[in-house]
Structure 1
Amino acid sequence: MELPYGDTTIEVALPDCDVTVADPPGGDPVDPREAAAEAMADPHGALLSERVSADDEVAIVVTDVTRATPDDVLVDLLVSELDAAGISRDQISIVVGLGLHRPMTDEELRNALGEYADLAQNHDAEAAEVVGELRGPDGESVPVEMNPTVAAADAVVSTGMVEPHQYAGFSGGAKTVAIGAGGESLIRYTHGPAMLAREGVRLGRVEGNPFRAMLDRAGDLIGVDFCLNVTHGPAGISDASAGDHRKVVEDLAESCKNNISVSLTDTYDAVVAGVGAPKDANLYQTTRAATYLALGDYDPLASPARRAGDASQREGGSGASGRIVVPAPLQEGAGEGTGEKRFYDWLSRAESADALYDEMRRGYDPGAQRAFVVARVLREYDLYVTNSDHPEVVEDCLMCARESVADAVEPGSDVLVVPDALDTLLTVA
């Protein structure tokens, strides 16, 4: 079988294993421009042209290199409608929603934004300024900081990719602006151990998710005027939606679920998870495959007792009972952004997953949350990363490096292969 690997694929053969492949239904791909144009013509709420004035300064917040969003197409459609409303090119700024990820290079900006690359600036979380505050679920005050260009704009517009997200349920909507163009305060609060432990903060869940609710309220406070988002399935972009940020996420999350859900009943000895570009460029992003699989609604490695929530089964800590195997090139090592460096620092200095998990429950800086959720997985299962350019980084981070997938799977294992692990939701049959 073939699994995604960077911009290409690798051949994987497990002849001595009993292999099940989790292929989601997929859905038919659409032309991104046609789908986005149709969505803009029939948005949730008013047309973009009706939400702006001719003398407005407009900030368009776009996704960064970690999202496979067709931002060049989406921005072109947004700029065209803004032009029809009397807003010229020199009234438009583009902010790349990096959050705490690394800045995009000039070449990456040109590839992502085409003729609009000259309007773009990389967001700097350290330069964000306070624009207001929110109250958390327990009444605590949470400052909301924003990129100065976005804060000063008369109208804020965003692109986005609505796809499964470990904490927000699905990404996109207000998240592109609130987190992507925000400061550390909101990131620190929403990604902290107290929030991540709350009921409802779960992959694939939007309704009743307090993490998602905080992002939506932040979007209202910031004033996200218009969203143009897409979603995708295994075959490519599958849908688009535009207008009010909450409705856009509800719309595309449902569409995405229909395309990527796979129902299961069995338990497996190992799960082989494909990632592919752009997420498998570094270890920070690659580990999403493991956490999405083990911390989703259906854990394919868990025993029935563990899956049912038996405390004696779940709190065993070390002594992993299964393994997750992920092929990834990791050409960027652990990752180059602030969050990625914090992730590496926590994992590389940890003595064990148990010790790391217990220490991080007391708090950590924004970006390090990925180390926290990885520690949760490593307390239960072994994580093997294969075919990488940086096996030493993998081994530094409490994980196992192997040359190939076959080297990481024991002969005779019952194996579940999830070719597109970041875009497959495993559910109970």
Structure 2
Amino acid sequence: MDITLPYGRGHLTAEIGPAHPVRLLQNQEHFAERPPEEIIREAMTHPFGERLSTLASGKKSAVIIASDHTRPVPSRWILPQLLQELRQGNPQIAVTILIACGCHREMTPHELETKFGAEVLKSVSIVQHDCRREEDFVEIGTLPSGGTLKINQVAAKADLLLAEGFIEPHFFAGFSGGRKSVLPGISARESIFWNHSAGMIANPCARAGVLEHNPIHADMEAAADMAGLAFVCNVILDKEKRLVAAVAGSPQQTHRAGCEISRQMTQVKGKRTPIVITTNGGYPLDQNLYQCVKGMATAAEACTPGGVIILCAACEDGHGGAHFYQALKEAASIPELLDKIQKTPPEQTTADQWQYQILARILKQHSVIMVTRPELEKMVCEMHMEYAPDLESAIEMADRKVGTTGEITVIPDGVSTIFCAE
């Protein structure tokens, strides 16, 4: 069987021989019947709760929390309509875009212009969030889990706080979008670290597609409420990153509605198999190994214990996190690393701990083979994984490990898929 997988800024193709029956698990096809701008406009004019123009009336300032370069949010379509609605309700309102970098690096000028467009950048102020800049934060409450919530003072001082973003399955928050714009998006390092601490990540409900009883989601939703997030516009994208739906309005209702649309598009059922092949959805989400843990997490749900995960990702930016890389590289063994993490109290959570905790959890149960650029072979091996130059070689390696030439599950986009066992 011939398969085509998203890889970097293009695709990777391979043939899987008849010895391996393939179970292809991919999202349902959804085709938008209208242009993206019309879909967003429809959501904006028929929101959950009050229209943004009504909320803007009488306000002096508005802050729009916007996603950064690591998310494929079509901000060029969303931001102009948010600005139009704000200024329709209040032509004099001062607007600031606050980039929700979370723990990521700031965006470059080129990335800002590419994502938002020159016209938008001319008409607003831009502030890039830095979770380490302690002087930027104000404390606004206590999270349900007991952590202190500190957010960027630019958002805290706004008369009107809103956010754009997109909704897809998230490997420990259930789904992205909505409340994630506040926590982790514009929160202080200590608040993010508490929310992403070992006990929270280890909770069995902290998984893709799960909102009920998910403590990470509960913290995030509470953070959005405490911050006064009043309006969100979130979009849902298909596997080709095309906009197929949009939701807007009051945060909780809007997010829940968007999650259900996403669930219908992304939830698949299948039988667990000893070999699972997946990707991180191509660029921009496969630009580093840090992000690729998301695709691995989906594959782990579909893989039998002791099986092999094959992840295909270009990783243009390498590992994507120094602490993430060093933790795996310096670990004497995966069980030892996982035990150390699980004994770490919330207030002692370290940078990238959640990401290498999940990767360690995966590696304790499965072998991971990465099909990536040859210059990354050393890094991949240092992180307790194996390297393969192409998919055919990876399958041969996996066969030797599991001792079978049986069925293989292929999940073309691991980031945007929720796996449910039959």
Alignment TM-score, normalising by the size of structure 1: 0.89
For 1:251, the equivalent position in structure 2 comes to 257
Other structure's SS at 1:174 match: helix
Aligned to 2:82: 78
Instruction: Identify the range of structure 1 (36-45 vs 9-18) with the bigger mean alpha-carbon deviation.
Output: 9-18
Q: What is the DSSP-based 3-state SS (H/G/I as helix, E as strand, rest coil) of the residue aligned with 1:40? A: helix
C-alpha distance in structure 2 between counterparts of 1:250 and 1:55, whole Å: 27
Q: Which of 137, 146, 151 lines up with 2:151 in the alignment?
A: 146
Q: 3-state SS of the aligned residue for 2:236?
A: strand
Aligned ranges 1:95-110 → 2 under 5 Å:
95-110=98-113
> Is 20-29 or 159-168 further displaced after alignment?
20-29
Match of 1:371?
356
The aligned counterpart of 1:309 is none
Say yes or no: does 1:282 pair with 2:288.
yes
In the alignment, residue 63 of structure 1 is paired with which amino acid? S
1:44 aligns with 2:48: yes
Q: Distance in 1 between matches of 2:71 and 2:309?
A: 23
Displacement of 1:18 after TM fit?
A: 2.2
Deviation per CA, 1:253-294: give whole Å up to 9, x if none.
111111112111x33121110221111110000121111232
Unaligned stretches of 5+ in structure 1? 304-320
Please name the residue that 2:163 is paired with.
158
Q: What's the CA shift for 1:192?
A: 0.3
Q: Which residue of 2 aligns with 1:341?
A: 322
Q: Decide which of 112, 115, 127 is 1:121's aligned counterpart.
A: 127
Match of 2:402 in 1: none
Amino acid aligned to 1:420: D
Q: 1:300 aligns with which of 302, 309, 321?
A: 302
Q: CA deviation at 1:62?
A: 0.6
Which amino acid in 2 is paired with 1:96? I
Q: Secondary structure at the match of 1:333?
A: coil
Partner residue in 1 for 2:194: 189
**2: distance between equivalents of 1:191 and 1:181?**
15
Per-residue deviation, 1:54: 4.2
- From 53, 59, 68, give the equivalent of 2:63: 59
Q: How does 1:307-318 map to 2 (within 5 A)?
A: none
1:232 match: 237
Q: For 2:165, what is the secondary structure of its paired residue?
A: strand
Partners of 1:79 and 1:11 in 2: CA distance: 42
Structure 1 residue aligned with 2:367: 382
Unaligned runs of at least 5 residues, structure 2: 400-404
Q: Is 1:402 the counterpart of 2:388 in the alignment?
A: yes
State the match for 1:92 in structure 2. Answer: 95
- Whole-Å separation in 2 of the counterparts to 1:97 and 1:356: 30
Identity in percent: 27
| Superposition deviation, residue 55 in structure 1 | 4.4
Deviation at 1:377, TM superposition (A): 0.4
CA distance in 2, matches of 1:254, 1:194: 27
Equivalent position of 1:132 in the other structure: 140
Aligned residue pairs, count: 399
The alpha-carbon deviation at position 383 of structure 1 amounts to 0.9
Alignment check: 8 A CA contact 1:131 1:222 kept: no
* Aligned residue type for 1:5: Y
Q: What is the root-mean-square deviation in Å for CA atoms of aligned residues?
A: 1.7
Aligned: 1:415 with 2:415:
no
* Corresponding residue SS for 1:322: strand
Which letter does structure 1 place at the counterpart of 2:326? D
CA contact (8 A) 1:133 1:144 kept: yes
Which one-letter code corresponds to 1:153 in the other structure?
Answer: A
1:281 alignment partner, SS class? coil
Q: Is the 8 A contact 1:325 1:384 kept in 2?
A: yes
Deviation of 1:199 after TM superposition, in Å, equals 4.4
Q: What is the CA-CA distance between 1:413 and the residue it aligns to?
A: 4.1
SS at match of 1:83: helix
* Aligned counterparts of 1:381 and 1:226: Cα–Cα separation in 2: 42
Equivalents in 1 of 2:25, 2:245: separation in Å? 22
Q: Does 1:332 align with 2:317?
A: yes
The 1-side partners of 2:415 and 2:143 are apart by: 31
2:298–2:419 CA contact under 8 A, matched in 1: no
Deviation at 1:41, TM superposition (A): 0.6
**Alignment partner of 1:417: what SS?**
strand
Alignment check: 8 A CA contact 2:168 2:236 kept? yes
Q: Which amino acid aligns with 1:281?
A: Q
SS at match of 2:186: coil
Partner SS for 1:277: coil
Distance 2:177 2:330 in 1: 33
SS in structure 2 of the partner of residue 356 of structure 1: helix
Q: Which of 20, 28, 32 is equivalent to 2:31? A: 28
